[in-house]
């Protein structure tokens, strides 16, 4: 096979060698499609990557950056920003659907990594309630609050009304720490204790409380801190 020319445009390189042969910048250039006066799509892609790599998330920052932030890059208008965010969301959903095929909601590790990409990029804490059936299958996923555990009260009443509505047999509480450190705070410990006690009374046990950090997690069940 003849040597591939180094001056090939990303689209031509894709056609000849396939997507796996392209750099991150070249793939982004194809998504951007058009440049601006004095800038090729590849130039814009490199500027986007430069913005991404100023954060700890690298290329995954495309899911973290807002449309407004993308539009602050010269040459990236609303159409290009929306296109990039759409591609990032498609990638996220594909990854999540693949995980669903083998997900075991009785495994803290699998639950944590299933929700990892959704939660670890959030700038504010989000608390989710997972309602499970007798075989640890997911009946429903409910957003309980957005803010912080310290400032946003999650009442046992709210949690168990939702669990009853979905006819849950057990529940799992899940939330993120934007700091990246999944170690539980005193508020997390107290909330877990209240929900565990209420769950025993309601006969809908709290199976776990999982805290998502930066590519890490904390499970009250695994740590032996969940009183059943």
- Among 98, 120, 149, the domain-final residue is 98
**138, 208: one domain:** yes
- Among 71, 98, 125, the domain-final residue is 98
Please report, for the domain that includes residue 49, its CATH number.
Answer: 1.10.150
Whether residue 31 is contained in a domain is answered as yes
Which of 21, 15, 75, 67 lies closest to 45 in space, CA to CA? 75
Whether residue 5 is contained in a domain is answered as no
Whether residue 228 is contained in a domain is answered as no
pLDDT in tens, 178-226: 889 999 999 899 999 999 999 999 999 999 999 999 889 999 999 998 8
Average pLDDT over residues 145-166: 81
**160, 85: one domain:** no
Whether residue 88 is contained in a domain is answered as yes
Average pLDDT over residues 34-63: 77
Is the confidence at residue 45, as pLDDT, over 70?
Answer: yes
Is the confidence at residue 149, as pLDDT, over 60?
Answer: no
**122, 55: one domain:** no
State the pTM of this model.
0.64
Sheet of 138-147: strand order equals 138-147, 125-132, 170-176, 206-212, 217-219
Band (105; pLDDT cuts 50, 70, 90) = confident
Among the residue ranges 56-60, 80-84, 124-128, 163-167, the one predicted with the least confidence is 56-60
Structural domain range at position 194: 103-219
- Among 78, 98, 118, the domain-final residue is 98
Q: Which of the given ranges, 78-82, 108-112, 162-166, has the highest pLDDT on average?
A: 162-166
**77, 130: one domain:** no
HEC per residue, the chain: CCCCCCCCCHHHHHHHHCHHHCCHHHHHHHHHCCCECCECHHHHHHHHHHHHCCCCCHHHHHHHCCHHHHHCCCCCCHHHHHHHHHHHHHHHHHHHHHHHCCCCCCCHHHHHHHHHHHHCCCCCEEEEEEEECCCCCEEEEEEEEEECCCCCCCCHHHHHHHHHHCCCCEEEEEEECCCCCCCCCHHHHHHHHHHHHHHHHHCCCEEEEEEECCCCEEECCCCCCCCC
Band (1; pLDDT cuts 50, 70, 90) = very low
Please report, for the domain that includes residue 119, its CATH number.
Answer: 3.40.140.10
Whether residue 14 is contained in a domain is answered as yes
Among the residue ranges 43-47, 97-101, 205-209, 223-227, the one predicted with the least confidence is 97-101
Whether residue 44 is contained in a domain is answered as yes
Whether residue 227 is contained in a domain is answered as no
Average pLDDT over residues 151-161: 81
Q: Provide the 10 A C-beta neighbour count for residue 195.
A: 24
* Count of structural domains, the chain: 2
**151, 89: one domain:** no
């Amino acid at each position: 096979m003849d040597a591939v020319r180094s001056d090939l445009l990303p689209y031509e390189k894709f056609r000849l060698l396939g997507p796996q042969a392209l750099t991150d910048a070249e793939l982004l250039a194809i998504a951007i499609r058009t440049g601006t006066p004095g800038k090729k799509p590849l130039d814009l892609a490199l500027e986007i990557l430069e913005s991404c790599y100023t954060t700890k998330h690298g290329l995954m920052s495309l899911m973290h950056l807002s449309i407004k932030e993308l539009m602050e890059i010269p040459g990236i208008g609303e159409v290009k920003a929306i296109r990039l965010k759409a591609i990032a969301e498609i990638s996220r959903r594909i990854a999540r659907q693949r995980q669903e095929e083998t997900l075991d909601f009785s495994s803290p590790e699998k639950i944590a990594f299933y929700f990892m990409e959704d939660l670890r990029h959030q700038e504010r804490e989000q608390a989710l309630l997972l309602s499970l059936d007798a075989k640890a299958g997911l009946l429903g996923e409910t957003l309980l609050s957005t803010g912080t555990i310290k400032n946003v009260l999650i009442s046992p009443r709210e949690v168990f009304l939702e669990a009853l509505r979905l006819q849950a047999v057990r529940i799992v509480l899940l939330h993120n720490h934007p700091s990246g450190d999944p170690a539980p705070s005193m508020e997390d410990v107290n909330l877990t204790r209240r929900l565990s006690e209420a769950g025993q009374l309601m006969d809908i046990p709290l199976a776990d409380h999982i805290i998502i950090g930066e590519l890490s997690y904390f499970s009250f069940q695994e740590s032996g801190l969940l009183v059943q």
